[in-house]
Amino acid sequence: MTALAKRKSRLTFETSDVVRYRGRLREVVIEAEEYMAHVRLKGSRMRFPISWAGIYNQAVKIAVEKARAEKKEKRKNKH
């Protein structure tokens, strides 16, 4: 984490995921900063901040939900 905190240039990731916004498909862009990231759509000025802890917590929730769904499907197919 210290390497990211000492960056002097802006770190931006342009993902391959697209979202329809105002009738156009736009790529999702992540702007990484020291204590948080900003998520926006390419060509849009709206930015949504999220902390690194928030990203981690969301990833954990998704993994738990996926595991529950797999377990439920396994039980369903067993009968």
Domain boundaries of the chain, sorted by first residue: 2-78
Enter the tokens of residue 71.
């377990």
Q: With 80 as the cut, is the pLDDT of residue 69 above it?
A: yes
Q: Which two tokens stand for residue 46?
A: 């709206």
Give 59's DSSP letter: H
Q: Which are the contacts of 39, defined by CB distance < 8 A and separation ≥ 6?
A: 28, 29, 30, 31, 47, 48, 50
* pTM passes above 0.75: no
Closest CA to 19 of 42, 37, 45: 42
Give 20-39 pLDDT, tens digit per residue: 998 999 999 999 988 899 99
Q: How far is CA 63 from the centre of its chain?
A: 14
pLDDT value for 6: 62
